[in-house]
Amino acid sequence: MSMALALLFGCLAVWGRSELVGAAPISRSLSGTFMARVLSVEERPAQEQRRFVVAMREPATGRAIMARVTVPNRFGALHAHSGSQSQVGPGALIRFRGRLVPPASPLIPGGYDFAQAAWFAGLSATGSVLAPIEVLNAGTGGDLLAAWREDLSGHIQSKLPSGSAGIAVALVTGDMGGISQQDGQAMRDAGLAHLLSISGLHVSAVIGAVYFLALRLLALSPALALRCRLPILAAGLGAITGIAYTLLTGSQVPTVRSCVGSLLVLTALAMGREALSVRLLATGAFVVMLLWPESLAGPSFQMSFAAVLALIVVANAGPVKRWMAPREESIVMRLLRDIVLTLVTGIAIEAVLMPIGLYHFHRAGVYGAMANIVAIPLTTFIIMPLVAGGLLLDIAGLGAPVWWLADWAIAFLLDLAHGTAGLPGAVRLFPTMGTGHFLLFVAGGLWFALWRGRVRFLGLVPAIAGALGLALLTPPDILVAGDGHYVGVVVDGGRNLALLRESKSDYAMDNFLEVVGQRNAPLSLPRRPEARCNADFCAVSLDRGGRTWRVLIARSDAYVPVPALLRACSQVDIVIADRGLPGSCHPHWLRIDRPMLKLTGGLTVDLSGQTVQTVAQEQGGHGWWRP
- In the prediction, which pLDDT does 124 show? 93
3-state secondary structure of 468: helix
Q: What 8-state DSSP symbol labels residue 434? A: P
The span from the first CA to the last CA of the chain, in angstroms, equals 38
- In the prediction, which pLDDT does 539 show? 92
pLDDT single digits (tens) 387-443 = 888 988 988 888 889 999 999 999 999 999 999 888 887 777 778 777 788 888 889
487, β-bridge pairs: 480
Instruction: Enumerate domains of the chain plus CATH numbers.
Output: 20-142 (2.40.50.730), 435-471 (no CATH), 478-619 (no CATH)
CA distance readout (Å), 29 to 32, 59, 506:
10, 11, 20
pLDDT single digits (tens) 346-378 = 778 778 888 888 888 877 777 777 788 788 888
- In the prediction, which pLDDT does 65 show? 92
Rounded distance, CA 429 to CA 582, Å?
A: 40
- In the prediction, which pLDDT does 573 show? 93
Buried-state track 397-409, b at ≥16 Cβ within 10 A, e below 16: eebeebbebbbeb
- In the prediction, which pLDDT does 135 show? 85
Rounded distance, CA 303 to CA 188, Å?
A: 14
Mean pLDDT of the chain: 84
CA distance readout (Å), 49 to 75, 154, 449, 549:
9, 15, 45, 47
Question: Do 19 and 12 meet the contact criterion of CB atoms below 8 Å apart?
Answer: no
- In the prediction, which pLDDT does 480 show? 93
Closest listed residue to residue 598, CA positions, set 580, 612, 586, 575: 580
Q: C-alpha 150: how far from its chain's center?
A: 23
3-state secondary structure of 324: coil
- In the prediction, which pLDDT does 82 show? 55
Low-confidence ranges of the chain (pLDDT < 50): none
- In the prediction, which pLDDT does 398 show? 85
* Pairing relationship of beta strands 125-129 and 64-72 according to DSSP bridges: parallel
Question: Do 450 and 434 meet the contact criterion of CB atoms below 8 Å apart?
Answer: no
CA dihedral sign, ordered 321, 325, 329, 334 = positive
Q: What is the dihedral of CA 224, 228, 231, 234, to 10 degrees?
A: -60
What is the pTM (predicted TM-score) of this model? 0.81
